[in-house]
A and B are shown apart, each in its own frame.
Chain A
Amino acid sequence: MNFDWNWVINWEWVSPFAWFGNPDINLGLKLLEIVFIIMGLICIYAAVKNAKDKENAASIGTAVFWGALGIVLATGRYLPPLINGLLIFTMAVPAVFRKVKIGKTNAPSSEQTKKQSDKIGMKIFLPAFSMGIFAILFALLFSNESALPTLSQAALVGVSVGVIVAIVMLIVYDRKNTPDIFMKDSERFLSMIGPLCMLPMLLASLGAIFTAAGVGDVIATMVGGIIPYGNVPVGIIVYALGMVIFTMIMGNAFAAITVMTVGIGFPFVLAHGANPVVIGMLALTSGYCGTLMTPMAANFNIVPVAMLDMKSNYGVIKQQIYIALPVLLFQIVFMILFYNAGWFGHA
Chain B
Amino acid sequence: MGFSEIITLVGVLIVILGFAFKLDAILIIMLAAIVTALVGGLGPVDMLETLGSTFVGNRPMAIFIMIMLVIGTLERNGLRESAAKLIAKVKGSTPGMVLGAYGIMRSIFAAFNVSFGGVAGFVRPVVMPMMEGAVEAKGKKMNEKHLETLKGMGGGIENIAWFFCQVLFVGGAGGLLVQSTLANLETPIHVELLDLVIISIPVAIFAVLTAIVVYYIRDRKMMKKYYGSGASKSSSKKSVSKQKDGGGKR
Contacts and interface: CB of A to CB of B under 8 A. Distances in A.
Contacts of B30: 89, 92, 96, 202
A323 B76 contact: no
Contact of A39 (B62, B71, B128, B187): B62
Classify the secondary structure of B's interface with A: helix
Contacts, number: 457
A292 B78 contact: no
Interface residues of B, number: 129
A307 B65 CA distance: 11
Nearest to A347: B191
Interface in B32-57: 32-33, 36-37, 39-42, 45-57
Contact of A186 (B72, B119, B125, B181): B72
Classify the secondary structure of A's interface with B: helix
Contact of B177 (A115, A181, A222, A284): A284
Size category of the binding interface on chain A: 35 or more
A282 interface: yes
Given A132-B121, A261-B181, A86 B48 contact: yes
A315 B148 contact: yes
Given A3-B42, A156-B60, A214-B8, A135 B116 contact: yes
A113 to B, nearest CB: 5
A85 B57 CA distance: 12
Interface in A122-140: 122, 124-125, 127-128, 131-132, 135-136, 139-140
Contacts of A131: 67, 70, 116-117, 121
Contacts of B17: none
A327 interface: yes
Given A139-B114, A210-B11, A291-B163, 13 more contacts: A3-B40, A82-B49, A89-B30, A92-B30, A124-B79, A127-B70, A195-B26, A199-B29, A204-B58, A304-B123, A315-B155, A320-B152, A326-B210
